[in-house]
Amino acid sequence: MWNTKMTNPKMSWQVTMTKRKSFLRYGLRSAAGLVGAAIAAGVVGFLCIVPLPNFTATARSQLVTPTPTDQRLICPGSIVDVLALNGDATSFGAMGVPEYVTSERGTSITQTALAAPDASSGDSLTQPQQLFASAPSTETAPQISGVQSQQVSTESISGLATATCGEASNDAWLVGGSTQTGRTTLLFLTNPTEVAANVTVTVLGESGWISGPGSSGIIVEPATQRIISLAALAPNVGNPVVRVTSTGGQVVPTLQQSVIRTLLPDGVELIAPGANPNVRLVIPGIRLSGMSSEYSTEGGIVTIDSEPAIRIGVPGEEDAAVTVTAYGVSGKPVAVKSTVPAGRVVELPFGRLDDGVYTLVVSATHPVVAAARTINYANIDPFTDAPSTADPAAPEQAVGPDSVGSLAPLTGGDFTWNVSTLPIMGETLVSVSTGPRPTLTLFNSGKSDVTVRLSEADTSLPDVTIPAFGVRAVPLTPGARYALLSEFAVYAAVNYAGQGLGASVPLAPASQLASGIMVFPR
């Protein structure tokens, strides 16, 4: 039999050559890979030892300055008393005319009264005052400031109340007041805008959040002030923190607190909004007197409002570890530490501090709000700490709601709420009321010295150098107007103190409505 399986020599050669070519291609590729890896390694090593030029790309930006707008500041108006006429405890009467001091730069101020239907009065100057200034040009923003001050002495209310004239907002926090027995706290809601404001008031106290009937849907008509008793919204609360929000128009909220102690008036105060919740707050301009009689210790809780205290509220849902550090004009800082429960308000002591002027820095692990209450004792001069031997005057007979009665001091004394504030920078106008012995307190929270220039009526005064984390106190002239200039951020307040009298006004940053805005075009 023939073998039919024939071998094709040509085909066999082609197969062999194909295998050789594949092997050759594989070898060349492997060699090329090894050479490439070696070159890459060499390049990496070269880059590691040879410095390369730096190339940075900066995003294109442009500073856009809006056209300056007109400025409006609102002064809360007269201290009011509750009138229990015909059993109506929601009627209020003005207690005289406050003194107003205003300042302006490059513009003029028009002062007008806003409607105050809840407070009876025969004088428009007892009503809330609007300070209006139009922009002097399309390039320059108007600068204005204002302050009001009033001292009263009747059988129901006595003391000194001084308030700054502030801007309206849609969200504000006020720390101060009390609705316990013998304490009256009123909430002023002033709407300077041209549309009605729908206001909601929520209160945080020592037992948590309070949202009672009537706390929402409060309508404040345009160019009008409403007055509400805080006790109607949050009765028997010793340490309230009040949040005011609004839709539609904006409002300027103010608390008025007055105290009756052992049947005698023991002070009155107008409380402005402080800084919003934050993990770091600064409270400048605190004057302490009579501290040798205080025995509170670090870590304790203040339970009576006749002692100086630091009120701290935690609006969030987590406990806050808090450190309150007091910086004085001299001496080392003194710190008080505590933990404030979530959704609660407590009052902490100042600790072992001497009499003097201080700034408090509140540091917390979670956002808090804070303010400080100081006591102005009737028999102690806050500048000498020397008790007075003069007996306080007996209370006057009852007077009408439109009278302030005698200005002779009653037996109680006074108290001051010092609120947290934001830093100021650039030029700030300072209006000083006619209250007793005004003092400008400056605090530098930076790590380098800051020099502040102060002038009165265009007359330069000596520069004030504030060391890092330092405090400086500068005496001012009652009723004067100053300009403060600082290239770096500082915190400031004006404190007023006399025997049995006290008040404090924070210096807020100038209006940001016409500030430049940095934009990044696409």
Q: CA 307 to CA 480: how far, in whole Å? A: 32
Tell me: pLDDT of 163 over 90.
yes
385 three-state secondary structure: coil
Check residue 378 and give its pLDDT: 84
Stretch 436-448: mean pLDDT:
96
Q: Is the pLDDT of residue 389 over 60?
A: no
Q: Per DSSP, what are the bridge partners of residue 149? A: 99, 162
Q: Which amino acid is at 452?
A: V
- If pLDDT is split at 50, 70 and 90, which confidence band does 51 have? low
In terms of Cα–Cα distance, which of 243, 249, 69, 98 is closest to 168? 249
Identify the top-confidence range among 27-36, 118-127, 227-236.
227-236
Q: Compare 378 and 5 and report the one with higher pLDDT.
A: 378
Contacts for 145 with CB less than 8 Å, ≥ 6 apart: 73, 102, 103, 104, 164, 165, 428, 429, 430, 431
pLDDT band at 422, cuts 50/70/90?
very high
Distance (Å) of CA 184 to CA 405, 413, 452: 19, 16, 40
Tally of residues, the chain: 522
Say whether pTM exceeds 0.85: no
Is 14 part of any domain? no
Four-point Cα dihedral 425, 428, 433, 436, nearest 10: 40
Tell me, rounded to whole angstroms, the distance of Cα 438 from its chain centroid.
21
Cβ proximity of 506 and 370 under 8 Å? no
Residue 360 lies in a domain: yes
**Does residue 288 lie in a domain region?**
yes
**Chain segment 267-277, per-residue pLDDT in tens:** 999 999 999 99
Q: Are 168 and 193 in contact (CB under 8 A)?
A: yes
Distance of CA 219 to the CA centre of its chain: 25
Confirm whether 21 is domain-assigned.
Answer: no
CA-based Rg of the chain, rounded to a whole angstrom?
34
Q: What is the mean pLDDT of the chain?
A: 83
Residue 120 lies in a domain: yes
Q: Residue 65 has what pLDDT? A: 54
Query: Which pLDDT belongs to residue 392?
Result: 36
Its sign, for the CA torsion 101, 107, 112, 114, is negative
Q: Which residue has the higher pLDDT, 351 or 432?
A: 432
* Residue-wise pLDDT tens digits, 292-329: 666 544 457 888 888 999 999 999 999 999 999 999 99
pLDDT at residue number 383? 81
pLDDT tens for 122-143 read 789 999 999 999 887 656 778 9
Check pLDDT > 90 for residue 404.
no
Best CA proximity match to 281, nearest among 189, 192, 173, 437: 173
Residue 231 phi, psi (nearest 5): -65, -25
Number of domains in the chain: 1
Whether residue 428 is contained in a domain is answered as yes
List Cα–Cα distances, 401 to 95, 122, 246, in angstroms: 6, 11, 31
The proportion of the chain whose per-residue pLDDT surpasses 70, expressed as a percent, equals: 76
Q: With contact defined as beta carbons under 8 Å apart, do 185 and 255 qualify?
A: yes
Range of the domain at 179: 73-389+396-519
Distance CA 244, CA 251 (A): 9
Sheet holding 183-191, edge to edge: 224-229, 183-191, 252-261, 264-271
pLDDT of residue 18: 44
Distance CA 210, CA 233 (A): 8
User: Rounded to a whole number, what is the largest CA-CA distance in the chain?
Assistant: 151
Q: In this model, does residue 6 exceed pLDDT 50?
A: no
Kindly report, residue by residue over 194-208, the tens digit of the pLDDT: 999 999 999 999 999
Work out the average pLDDT over 395-408.
Answer: 33
Residue 315 lies in a domain: yes
> What is the rounded average pLDDT of the residues 435-445?
96
SS3 264: strand
Query: What is the spatial distance between Cα 281 and Cα 273, in angstroms, rounded to a whole number?
Result: 13
| DSSP 8-state assignment for residue 241 | E
In a domain, 9, yes or no: no
Residues facing residue 380 across a β-bridge = 387
Which has the closest alpha carbon to 106: 146, 139, 140, 72? 140
Write the DSSP assignment of 37-83 as a string of letters.
HHHHHHHHHHHHHS-------PPP-EEE-PPP--EEEEE----EEEE
Q: Measured in whole angstroms, how far is the alpha carbon of residue 229 from the centre of its chain?
A: 23
Task: Provide the token pair at 103.
Answer: 């300042």
Of the candidates 78, 92, 73, the residue with the CA atom closest to the CA atom of residue 151: 78
The first and second tokens of residue 272, run together, are: 């402005």
Tokens coding 339: 């933990």
